[in-house]
């Protein structure tokens, strides 16, 4: 797709919802389970009743964060993720902290979402349990391939699974409510299991248990920021459509999360430490039984959990592109691919996520401990930045109505900043030793890496500034053609070097074998070439060092001259042919690039296989090794 067609990829709300909101919508599938899992460590069923007030607190927090990010959508129509907001209002250090937190969070989103989806599949088909890692890696690769086709294409592909999960979840809640009114709700398959007492309770310990459960339940808030980061991807009016989509997402997430928690309490579902079967699958089994609806719901749950990673596949490459533009990440991440997607960012995200999944053996209980620290770090910085943004807006307007609206927005963002900061403290406190320290260490490492990359780019830019007087022309150009034997590639290189009309031209060979040296001299004399042949002895059978020493000698005698080295090369058509030819030219070329005042010119000679490869692929073959 040509660059001018970027407008064709803009998303309507119905496609933006599955693209940007699959993560927060899918989080309801395991947020309740994390709360129940923590409360279950108290060892008594009575403590599971605390899931209700904890879920209410999480739902209220989600409402506050959604309201806060709606303000960001209007204030930053060009994309107001935590990095952009922090950069404009809090400075570089805060913005890089937010960026590092988001990058880690996006990687964790892919790993946790995909592994959670595989857990849902295994809940329905336990025989697949030994293949959890392979299934997870396969799904990540599939998501990457679909996203490489473009944003709009991925939205179209993922729309049905997202809406199927929402529809079936609402149907499950409605069925559960109907059964609660008309008859007793059946118990979950795990209701009879004894809880294992592993946490101290009573007094302050009960409060600490609730805070820990609350911290785990806050996984329901992951991915909320994605819409504010992707406002430019919406159709016009961008800000309004983004804010509306965010509101729809918040309403759906709160409704489904609250309903699933209520059904978990009503069915007395227990959470297993190994995640199988999941709480949400136990609820579906209790309400519907193992019929068509159950398996349809398990399929939809697995689909939405896997597709939740798509939020990261849109957020990570976009953020990486912005950071690359600001020179905090490699420039390659800023470029769009042929489908107008940030292909390099997509591939990088998939690769890191696969490594993480394999490293943690696709264990959801271990992976989820690394989660949400980055989420609330970015939440807090973004909302604090918005408070300062509105303060600046107040200083630029005197309209009373406008000032009242700004004060209202500032209050919303200020509340969001205070609440998310408090939650961040709770999350770090109760998840640090459980594994969050790894996420924090990764954030610190990425922060320092981005600073180092920026210093490097700044230093290179300064070094590449042209001198005020322009570039001084060299006095002379010494041309050297490297020769191993006198064959067609060498003849072509000699002819080309002569055509450049250098000030001085020689052919240079390194004498490693006496027989080869005598044959080369004889061939040279036989052909009567008018270019002098210089032979450098190499008693230790080296090639690179004698050439460098010879060139260094010329540089010392004529430091204002330039030296051009011509290297004849084969062009081959098959990968295995690269292995059959001497690689000394590649090594020598690499060393010559470090020599000041030396230019390196490759003179290609196409073999027959390269022509065949060109006919088969319509692509230019790659230059291979030295003709030897």
In tens, the pLDDT along 414-449 reads 998 998 898 888 888 877 777 778 889 999 999 999
Q: Round the average pLDDT of the chain to a whole number and report it.
A: 85
C-alpha 304/C-alpha 117 separation (Å) is 7
C-alpha 484/C-alpha 491 separation (Å) is 12
Query: Is the omega angle on the peptide bond into residue 588 within 30 degrees of 0, that is, cis?
Result: no
Residue bearing the bigger pLDDT, 54 or 190: 54
pTM above 0.85, yes or no: no
Is it the case that residue 227 has pLDDT exceeding 70?
Answer: yes
Residues paired with residue 563 on neighbouring β-strands, in sequence order: 478, 598
What pLDDT score does 200 carry?
57
Residue bearing the bigger pLDDT, 309 or 520: 520
CB 364 within 8 A of CB 115: yes
CB 378 within 8 A of CB 98: yes
Contacts of 227 (CB under 8 A, 6+ apart): 16, 20, 21, 69, 73, 242, 245, 246, 249
In tens, the pLDDT along 28-58 reads 777 888 888 888 776 666 677 888 899 999 9
Burial of 292 (0-12, 13-18, 19+ CB in 10 A): exposed
What pLDDT score does 134 carry?
94
CATH class of the domain comprising 477-626: alpha beta
Q: Where are the domains of the chain?
A: 3-457, 477-626
In tens, the pLDDT along 66-96 reads 988 898 888 888 876 789 899 999 999 999 9
CATH number for the domain formed by residue range(s) 3-457: 1.20.1740.10
Is it the case that residue 155 has pLDDT exceeding 80?
Answer: no
pLDDT > 90 in the chain, percent? 34
Is it the case that residue 366 has pLDDT exceeding 90?
Answer: no
What pLDDT score does 43 carry?
63
In tens, the pLDDT along 576-595 reads 777 776 567 788 888 999 99
C-alpha 34/C-alpha 257 separation (Å) is 12
Strand spans (E) along 42-105: none
């Amino acid at each position: 797709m040509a660059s001018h067609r970027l407008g064709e990829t803009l998303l309507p709300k119905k496609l933006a919802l599955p693209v940007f909101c699959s993560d927060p919508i899918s989080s309801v599938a395991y947020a309740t389970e994390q709360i129940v899992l923590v409360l279950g460590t108290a060892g008594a069923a009575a403590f599971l009743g605390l899931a209700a007030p904890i879920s209410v607190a999480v739902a209220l927090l989600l409402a506050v964060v959604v309201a806060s990010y709606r303000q960001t959508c209007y204030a930053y129509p060009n994309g107001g993720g935590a990095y952009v907001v922090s950069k404009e209002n809090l400075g570089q250090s805060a913005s890089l902290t937010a960026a590092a937190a988001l990058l880690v969070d996006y990687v964790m989103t892919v790993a946790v979402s995909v592994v959670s989806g595989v857990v849902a599949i295994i809940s329905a088909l336990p025989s697949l349990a030994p293949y959890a890692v392979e299934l997870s890696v396969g799904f990540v690769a599939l998501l990457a391939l679909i996203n490489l086709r473009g944003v709009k294409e991925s939205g179209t592909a993922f729309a049905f699974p997202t809406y199927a999960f929402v529809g079936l979840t609402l149907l499950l809640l409605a069925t559960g409510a109907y059964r609660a009114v008309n008859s007793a709700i059946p118990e979950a398959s795990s209701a009879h299991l004894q809880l294992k007492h592993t946490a101290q309770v009573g007094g302050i310990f009960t409060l600490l248990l609730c805070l820990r459960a609350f911290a785990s339940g806050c996984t329901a808030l992951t991915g909320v920021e994605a819409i504010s980061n992707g406002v430019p991807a919406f159709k016009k009016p961008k800000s309004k459509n983004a804010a509306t989509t965010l509101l729809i997402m918040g309403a759906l997430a709160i409704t489904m999360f609250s309903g699933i928690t209520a059904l978990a309490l009503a069915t007395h579902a227990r959470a297993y430490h190994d995640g199988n079967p999941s709480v949400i699958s136990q609820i579906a089994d209790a309400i519907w039984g193992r019929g068509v609806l159950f398996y349809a719901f398990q399929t939809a749950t697995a689909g939405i959990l896997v597709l939740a990673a798509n939020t990261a596949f849109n957020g990570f490459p976009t953020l990486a592109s912005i950071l690359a533009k600001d020179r905090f990440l490699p420039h390659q991440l800023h470029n769009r691919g042929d489908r107008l997607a940030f292909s390099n960012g997509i591939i990088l995200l998939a690769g890191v996520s696969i490594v993480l999944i394999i490293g943690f053996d696709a264990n959801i209980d271990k992976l989820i401990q690394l989660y949400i620290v980055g989420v609330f770090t970015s939440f807090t910085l973004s909302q604090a930045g918005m408070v300062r943004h509105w303060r600046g807006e107040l200083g630029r307007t005197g309209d009373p109505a406008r000032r009242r609206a700004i004060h209202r927005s500032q209050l919303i963002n200020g509340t969001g900043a205070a609440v998310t900061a408090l939650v961040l403290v709770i999350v770090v406190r109760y998840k640090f030793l459980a594994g969050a320290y790894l996420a924090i260490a990764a954030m610190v490492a990425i922060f320092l890496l981005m600073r180092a990359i920026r210093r490097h780019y700044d230093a290179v830019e300064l070094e590449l500034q042209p001198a005020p007087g322009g570039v001084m022309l060299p006095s002379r150009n010494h041309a050297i053609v490297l020769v191993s034997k006198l064959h067609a590639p060498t003849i072509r290189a000699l002819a080309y070097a002569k055509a450049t009309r250098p000030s001085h031209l020689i052919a240079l060979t390194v004498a490693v074998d006496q027989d080869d040296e005598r044959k080369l001299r004889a061939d040279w004399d036989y052909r009567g070439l008018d270019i002098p042949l210089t032979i450098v002895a190499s008693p230790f059978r080296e090639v690179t060092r004698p050439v460098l020493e010879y060139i260094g000698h010329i540089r010392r005698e004529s430091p204002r001259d330039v030296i051009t080295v011509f290297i004849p090369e084969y062009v081959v058509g098959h990968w295995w042919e690269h292995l059959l030819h001497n690689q000394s030219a590649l090594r020598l070329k690499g060393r010559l690039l470090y020599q000041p005042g030396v230019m390196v010119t490759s003179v290609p000679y196409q073999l027959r296989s390269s022509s065949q490869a060109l006919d088969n692929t319509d692509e230019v073959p790659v230059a291979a090794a030295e003709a030897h």
